[in-house]
């Protein structure tokens, strides 16, 4: 079975490809003639079966005649990403010893750096640029070459460190079977219009909008690789050329959804469906995209090792959003060996194994790696899944820590090796975080031996100089220490939850429970950041709040109930992270007691009792007067403001003036309520900034309502019930004023 058989029986007059960059179109006869001419060129270069041909390209129509020319010579084409790290490219090319290196014109300096191979420059804007290059005319006659004998015709390289890149060798049979299977399963038609905007150094574009289209005689429209300019013009392209099928990725779907929240502004009714590959498609994104653009989408599951999709979503009533689809022209079974634990996995889960004519020949020049994944004809994918009663494959996870960003495999260990060469790193761990735009975001968590801004910047530059751009982490996160499991190994699940913000969201949800929450905080994002910083820095999460004083000189059941309520909140948060995490500090508001004319001896006795209750519950406390002293605030000096006209203007404009006066009537009935309220206003406004400085990085909790936010310290704040839901009065007032029939609804006064 020879790849060239795909060109048999095609109507040469039909359009094969339109390059939207050069505005040139080519027929299938042009493709056949260009392939013949290139085959003749390779023959004159003495290219023999088994030889290697490198093509440095991002995406170019020239790829297609070149692969058919290589197929006719039983040579292997290796499209390489010219944006790989130079060391990596040099290693691959040296290992391959190619007979010829073709390169798009923009990569001339790079091509000249390779030794011992003939280099041929290609005009990437002209598929026919080398047609007739030997004698000024096209060759004619059948495309030469014997039947495929199992030799590789295409080798696709995964990117890693210099020593770990692997070339996936695909045979004539692999490519031909997959092209026909894909075309047949989705009903590709002669003349059907496909949009191609993915890179050619990965398998998706050469197969889905390449060989599968060729096998059906479809018409491919080629753009530059998807980016902002393509995203900006994509609906114009669809409308102008009546595109019928899109080949896209989840990251492209996310980008278009963000750019066009109201849907496409053009007539895109010509689109029949979209094929979504290279990464797992989340159900939420899938449904959002379909609803917004009215484009049915079908995803598939596969690897370069399976010549693209082995499992495909059907275009009928069997389509589901929770599965990858059904096996096509291959066998899929679920293996149990190699799984460390099935705990938490759906019943019947195991490693996905695939067998059939679409399975690669192996990793070129790497028999050990090939033997590790090919066992008795079955490919061990490293993915975990199960087959349901309808025969649909559901993927639930991975065995290995492998990242797939924009459809490109990234091996975390390769990045950690590069990071480890930087002398200031004590430990690192690279992993993927789900990301709508990228599929997965590459994150490297590091522990520095000594942390300085200079070292962090130097690490970024060091790694950028050691790995290719497509392997560069999207984010470095500097931990004090990496979370470990009971065996002392890095807890990858916990790391992902920390970095993704899931743990922070889980913790915030605890503070936001109805049993605690008195009012919804406007500071959610700031609190989430404080939680996240605490987790990453491995420092306590600090909660601080006022604890005031009323007329009692002893702690009673109301105080204990309120403290127990706080302890319950702290314990629930600590259980979420499985360690003592929250440090709660009460600010004993002796200054407020003085302001409210509470006898000093009574306040001192009450706070001693509260301090003892705090000790029993593991809470910290500090007297407000200590914060005042550190800030240089003097009580009598603050009260002098009461005679200041500027202060009086602020008081008259104060939105809570009436509430303060009403509370003063309750708290200090023996004196002028307006003067008492003005005095308290002066005190709390004077201490707001000093408390915020003293408690920097902490989250403030208060028993007040949200309307009092302007008189609390300017810190991220949560609003909680004092004892339980429905009790708003402060515990230090309960059992005294409120027992005498006063309104139990509380206010700001502590």
Q: How far is CA 393 from CA 126, 315, 387, 689, in A?
A: 42, 16, 5, 58
- Encoding tokens for residue 268? 């895109």
Alpha-carbon gap, residue 75 to 85, rounded angstroms:
26
Alpha-carbon gap, residue 737 to 551, rounded angstroms:
8
Strands 219-222, 15-19: pairing is: parallel
Give the list of residues 6+ apart from residue 573 with CB closer than 8 angstroms, or none: 507, 510, 511, 541, 581, 582
Longest CA pairwise span in the chain (Å): 113
Residue 735 CB neighbour total at 10 angstroms = 18
pLDDT tens-digit readout, 368-399: 999 999 999 999 998 889 999 999 999 987 77
Which of 228, 395, 244, 399 has its CA nearest to residue 320?
395
User: Mean pLDDT, to the nearest integer, of 355-379?
Assistant: 95
Given a cut of 90, whether residue 155 has pLDDT beyond it is yes
- Banded pLDDT at 405 (limits 50, 70, 90): confident
Alpha-carbon gap, residue 689 to 691, rounded angstroms:
5
**Mean confidence (pLDDT) of the chain:** 89
pLDDT at 134: 55
pLDDT at 145: 46
pLDDT at 400: 72
Alpha-carbon gap, residue 290 to 293, rounded angstroms:
6
Which of 494, 505, 686 has its CA nearest to residue 595?
686
User: Which contiguous run of DSSP H or E holds residue 526?
Assistant: helix 524-537
Alpha-carbon gap, residue 411 to 142, rounded angstroms:
43
Alpha-carbon gap, residue 521 to 529, rounded angstroms:
14
Q: For residue 30, report the phi and psi dihedrals to the nearest 5 degrees.
A: -60, -45
* CA angle 78–80–83, rounded 5-degree value: 175
For residues 674 and 657, is the Cβ–Cβ distance under 8 A?
no
Look at the domain 403-500 and name its fold.
GMP Synthetase; Chain A, domain 3 (3.30.300)
pLDDT above 70 coverage of the chain, percent: 93
- Domain limits, the chain: 403-500, 507-740
State the CATH architecture for 507-740: 3-Layer(aba) Sandwich (3.40)
Given a cut of 50, whether residue 343 has pLDDT beyond it is no
Q: Kindly give the residue spans of alpha helices, DSSP state H, lying in 260-405.
A: 283-293, 367-373
pLDDT tens-digit readout, 589-638: 999 999 999 999 999 999 999 999 999 999 999 999 999 999 999 999 99
Alpha-carbon gap, residue 56 to 105, rounded angstroms:
10
Q: Which long-range contacts (C-beta less than 8 Å, at least 24 apart) are formed by 659-663?
A: 659/747, 659/748, 660/747, 660/748, 660/749, 662/747, 663/747, 663/748, 663/749
pLDDT at 140: 47
Q: Which residue has the tokens 């004083």?
A: 549
pLDDT tens-digit readout, 36-62: 999 999 999 999 999 999 999 999 999
pLDDT tens-digit readout, 692-739: 999 999 999 999 999 999 999 999 999 999 887 766 678 998 875 434
- Between 412 and 108, the more confident residue is 108
Q: For residue 168, report the phi and psi dihedrals to the nearest 5 degrees.
A: -90, 115
Alpha-carbon gap, residue 714 to 522, rounded angstroms:
12
Length of the chain: 750
Give the list of residues 6+ apart from residue 513 with CB closer than 8 angstroms, or none: none
Q: Which residues pair with residue 488 across a beta bridge?
A: none
pLDDT at 698: 97
pLDDT at 216: 97
* CA angle 45–48–53, rounded 5-degree value: 70
CA atoms within 13 A on the CB side of 534: 26
pLDDT at 240: 98
pLDDT tens-digit readout, 288-314: 999 999 999 999 999 999 999 999 999
Alpha-carbon gap, residue 747 to 662, rounded angstroms:
10
Q: For 490, which DSSP code? A: B
Q: For residue 278, report the phi and psi dihedrals to the nearest 5 degrees.
A: 80, -20
pLDDT at 620: 97
Alpha-carbon 519 to chain mean position: 32
Q: Which residues pair with residue 126 across a beta bridge?
A: none
Alpha-carbon gap, residue 362 to 166, rounded angstroms:
10
pLDDT at 552: 92
Give the list of residues 6+ apart from residue 301 with CB closer than 8 angstroms, or none: 309, 310, 311, 312, 324, 325, 383, 393, 395
Q: How far is CA 101 from CA 35, 37, 70, 387, in A?
A: 17, 17, 13, 44
User: Which contiguous run of DSSP H or E holds residue 65?
Assistant: helix 63-73
Alpha-carbon gap, residue 105 to 57, rounded angstroms:
9
Q: Kindly give the residue spans of alpha helices, DSSP state H, lying in 618-703.
A: 624-631, 635-639, 645-653, 657-667, 673-694
- Encoding tokens for residue 146? 């014997």
Instruction: Measure CA of the first residue to CA of the last residue in the chain; give whole Å.
Output: 86
Alpha-carbon gap, residue 456 to 160, rounded angstroms:
23
Alpha-carbon gap, residue 649 to 651, rounded angstroms:
5
Backbone Cα Rg of the chain:
34
pLDDT at 149: 53
Alpha-carbon gap, residue 646 to 176, rounded angstroms:
86
Which of 288, 227, 235 has its CA nearest to residue 257?
288
Given a cut of 90, whether residue 486 has pLDDT beyond it is no
- Encoding tokens for residue 122? 């290609």
User: Which contiguous run of DSSP H or E holds residue 79?
Assistant: strand 76-80
User: Mean pLDDT, to the nearest integer, of 168-190?
Assistant: 97
b/e 143-177 (16+ beta carbons within 10 angstroms → b): bbbeebeebbbbbbbbbbbbebbbbbbbbbbbbbb
pTM: 0.68
pLDDT tens-digit readout, 131-145: 875 554 444 445 644
């Amino acid at each position: 079975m020879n790849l060239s058989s795909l060109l048999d029986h095609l109507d040469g007059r039909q359009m094969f490809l339109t390059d939207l960059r050069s505005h040139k179109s080519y027929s299938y006869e042009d493709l056949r003639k260009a392939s013949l001419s290139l085959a003749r060129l390779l023959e004159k270069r003495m290219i023999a079966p088994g030889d290697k041909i490198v093509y440095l390209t991002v995406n170019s129509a020239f790829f297609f005649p070149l692969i058919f020319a290589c197929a006719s010579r039983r040579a292997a084409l290796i499209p390489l990403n010219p944006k790989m790290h130079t060391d990596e490219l040099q290693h691959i090319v040296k290992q391959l010893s190619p007979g010829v290196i073709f390169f798009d014109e923009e990569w001339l300096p790079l091509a000249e750096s390779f030794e011992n191979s003939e280099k041929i420059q290609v005009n990437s804007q002209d598929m026919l640029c080398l047609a007739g290059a030997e004698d000024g005319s096209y060759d004619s006659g059948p495309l030469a070459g014997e039947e495929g004998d199992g030799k590789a015709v295409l080798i696709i390289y995964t990117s890693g460190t210099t020593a770990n890149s692997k070339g996936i060798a695909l045979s004539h049979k692999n490519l031909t079977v997959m092209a026909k299977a894909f075309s047949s399963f989705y009903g590709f038609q002669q003349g059907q219009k496909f949009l191609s905007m993915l890179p050619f150094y990965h398998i998706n574009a050469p197969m889905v909008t390449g060989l599968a289209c060729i096998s059906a005689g479809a018409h491919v429209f080629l753009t530059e690789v998807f980016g902002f300019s393509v995203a900006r013009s994509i609906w114009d392209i669809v409308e102008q050329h009546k595109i019928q099928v899109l080949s896209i990725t989840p990251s492209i779907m996310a980008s278009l959804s963000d750019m066009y929240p109201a849907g496409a502004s053009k007539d895109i009714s010509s689109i029949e469906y979209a094929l979504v590959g290279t990464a797992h498609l989340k159900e939420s994104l899938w449904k959002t995209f379909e609803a917004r653009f009215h484009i049915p989408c079908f995803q598939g599951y596969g690897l370069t090792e399976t010549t693209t999709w082995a499992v495909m979503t059907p275009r009928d009533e069997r389509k589901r959003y929770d599965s990858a689809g059904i096996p096509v022209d291959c066998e899929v079974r679920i293996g149990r060996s190699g799984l460390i634990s099935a705990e938490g996995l759906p019943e019947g889960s195991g490693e996905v194994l695939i067998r059939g004519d679409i399975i690669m020949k192996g990793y070129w020049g790497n028999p050990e790696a090939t033997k590790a994944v090919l066992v008795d004809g079955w490919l061990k994918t490293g993915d975990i899944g199960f087959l349901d009663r309808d025969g649909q494959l559901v993927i639930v996870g991975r065995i290995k820590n492998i990242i797939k960003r924009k459809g490109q495999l990234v091996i975390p260990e390769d990045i950690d090796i590069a990071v480890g060469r930087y002398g200031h790193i004590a430990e690192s761990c690279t992993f993927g975080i789900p990301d709508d735009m990228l599929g997965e975001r590459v994150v490297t968590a590091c522990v520095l031996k000594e942390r300085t801004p200079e070292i962090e910047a130097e690490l970024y530059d060091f790694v950028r100089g050691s790995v290719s751009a497509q392997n560069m982490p999207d984010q470095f996160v500097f931990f004090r220490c990496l979370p470990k499991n009971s065996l002392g190994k890095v807890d990858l699940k916990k790391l992902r939850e920390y970095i993704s913000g899931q743990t922070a969201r889980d913790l915030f949800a605890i503070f936001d429970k109805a049993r605690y929450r008195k009012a919804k905080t406007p500071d959610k994002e700031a609190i989430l950041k404080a939680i996240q910083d605490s987790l990453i820095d491995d420092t306590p999460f600090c909660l601080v709040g006022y604890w005031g004083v009323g007329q009692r000189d002893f702690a009673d059941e109301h105080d204990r109930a309120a403290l127990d309520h706080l302890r319950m909140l702290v314990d629930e948060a600590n259980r979420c992270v499985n360690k003592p995490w929250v440090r709660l500090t009460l600010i004993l508001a002796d200054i407020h007691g003085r302001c409210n004319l509470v006898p000093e001896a009574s306040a001192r006795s009450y706070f001693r009792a509260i301090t003892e209750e705090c000790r029993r519950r593991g809470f910290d406390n500090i007297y407000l007067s200590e914060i005042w002293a550190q800030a240089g605030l003097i009580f009598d000096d603050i009260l002098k403001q009461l005679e200041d006209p500027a202060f009086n203007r602020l008081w008259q404009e104060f939105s809570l003036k009436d509430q303060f006066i009403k509370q003063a009537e309750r708290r200090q009935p023996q004196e002028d309520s307006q003067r008492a309220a003005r005095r308290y206003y002066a005190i709390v406004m004077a201490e707001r900034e000093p408390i915020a400085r003293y408690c920097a990085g902490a989250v403030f909790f208060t028993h007040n309502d949200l309307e009092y936010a302007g008189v609390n310290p300017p810190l991220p704040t949560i609003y909680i019930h004092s004892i339980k839901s429905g009790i708003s009065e402060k515990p230090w007032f309960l059992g005294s004023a409120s027992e005498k029939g006063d309104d139990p609804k509380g206010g700001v006064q502590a």
